[in-house]
Amino acid sequence: MELTTVWFILIGVLWTGYFVLEGFDFGVGMLMPVLGRGEDGETRKRVLLNTIGPVWDGNEVWLLTAGGATFAAFPIWYATLFSGFYLPLLLILVALIVRALGFDYRGKVDDPAWRRRWDVAIVVGSVVPALLWGVALTNIVRGVPINAAKEYTGNLFTLLNPVGLLGGLTTVALFLTHGAIFVALKTEGDIRRQARELSVRVGLVAAALAVALLVTLNAQTGSAASWVAAGAAAVALLAGLFASWRDREGWAFVGTFVAIGAAVASLFLALYPDVMPSSTNPAFSLTVTNASSTAYTLKIMTIVAAVFTPLVLAYQAWTYWVFRRRIGTRHIPAASGTAPAPSAPHAPGSSPVPPTAPAPSR
């Protein structure tokens, strides 16, 4: 297998890892106004934030790695993508920064108005990337206007076409479902029950949107492999929703994890051998061949990736294992007002779960 194909696969794996991992913490952020309501709303919000506190920043490492790998392995792809999609990618970056500030600063001052403002930042900072990543990935697969100089000739509104918006709504719905199931898996009591019920309702909408998107894109550029991956995504999502309905949150999370991964794999399989097809003229399309680095660069990158990738995966798996316990409102201490900001692995925007928290039931 050519190294260009190897690195196309590796970049697809990195983006898949980013969407399946950061997808659920986007979902938890978007669900704060829904699952954080009630007389004990502040405590419930702190429970939600504690579920993703130890892992959200580690999940973003996948985004940095995917972007860096694209730059090194396919510099022409990187240049066309990041210059052509400059405005939506800038909006995503700003949203991610605002969300991180919300995690760090909402617990700095013991004032409801202060916390409400940062809650808005967390929600907006979760919705915008979830929507725009779907818009961007959909447009990359279906093709965008690229001229003979390999430059994008459209604008932001070119990307906001009906199919692109369908892709954005699909990722929002999938991440909401993924996040609700993650909350049910990591919590106890009323929050757990409400998250589980919500996951089934939102999941049915996500399934309908995902089927419409995958059928549309695969009908345009799909291959046998991409159709198989799309079918696997649909089966995994329905199986995950069935498991959630039967109160099996662990299997439900596996289902949405596999569904999102298979859906992203289907899009990359439909894209290959192009990396950014041109809707102006197919001859102007960027492919794994004409957009790649030199063979020597790819060889060095392969050696580095073979050494460090297992270490990164082992560290992240260890993090998830250490913070595997369930939490509930009874584990959340009283607000500490101007207490120092929590840092990972504690909860974002709230006091950490006390070390005496009991072991999970599952």
- 34-54 tens-digit pLDDT: 998 888 888 899 999 999 988
Q: Which of 10-19, 125-134, 250-259, 314-323 has the lowest mean pLDDT?
A: 314-323
Q: What is the pLDDT of residue 313?
A: 87
Domain assignment of residue 237, yes or no: no
Torsion angles phi and psi, residue 76, rounded to 5: -70, -40
Domain assignment of residue 108, yes or no: yes
Domain assignment of residue 243, yes or no: no
Domain assignment of residue 85, yes or no: yes
Mean pLDDT, rounded, for 76-97: 92
Domain assignment of residue 224, yes or no: no
Domain assignment of residue 337, yes or no: no
Q: d(Cα 239, Cα 280) in Å, to the nearest integer?
A: 40
What are the angstrom distances between the C-alpha of 211 and each of 108, 161, 207, 239, 294?
43, 18, 6, 15, 38
When divided into structural domains, the chain yields a total of: 1
pLDDT in tens, 170-219: 999 999 999 999 999 999 888 999 999 999 999 999 999 999 999 999 88
Cβ within 8 Å of residue 21, ≥6 positions away: 55, 59, 62
Q: Which of 175, 180, 183, 94 is nearest to 137 (CA)?
A: 175
Task: Grade residue 23 by pLDDT with cuts at 50, 70 and 90.
Answer: very high
Q: Are strands 274-276 and 286-287 parallel, antiparallel or unpaired?
A: antiparallel
For 55, which DSSP code?
T
Compute the mean pLDDT over every residue in the chain, rounded to the nearest whole number.
Answer: 87
Q: d(Cα 287, Cα 278) in Å, to the nearest integer?
A: 10
Q: d(Cα 268, Cα 141) in Å, to the nearest integer?
A: 8
Q: What is the pLDDT of residue 353?
A: 43
Task: Grade residue 336 by pLDDT with cuts at 50, 70 and 90.
Answer: low
Q: Is the pLDDT of residue 339 over 60?
A: no
| More confident of the two residues 75 and 338 | 75
Q: Are 226 and 218 in contact (CB under 8 A)?
A: yes
Task: Grade residue 242 by pLDDT with cuts at 50, 70 and 90.
Answer: very high
Q: What is the pLDDT of residue 325?
A: 83
Q: Which of 289, 3, 297 is nearest to 150 (CA)?
A: 289
Q: What is the pLDDT of residue 323?
A: 84
Q: What is the pLDDT of residue 335?
A: 62
Domain assignment of residue 327, yes or no: yes
In which domain, by residue range, is 66 found? 3-219+271-331
Give the SS3 label for residue 196: helix
Q: What percent of the chain has pLDDT over 90?
A: 54
Q: d(Cα 271, Cα 5) in Å, to the nearest integer?
A: 12
pLDDT in tens, 301-323: 899 888 888 888 898 888 888 88
| More confident of the two residues 269 and 110 | 269
Domain assignment of residue 112, yes or no: yes
- DSSP H helices, the chain, are 3-30, 32-35, 41-52, 56-73, 75-84, 86-105, 112-142, 156-159, 162-186, 190-221, 224-245, 249-271, 295-322
Q: d(Cα 92, Cα 172) in Å, to the nearest integer?
A: 14
Q: How big is the CA angle at 91 (ends 112 and 25), to the nearest 5 degrees?
A: 55
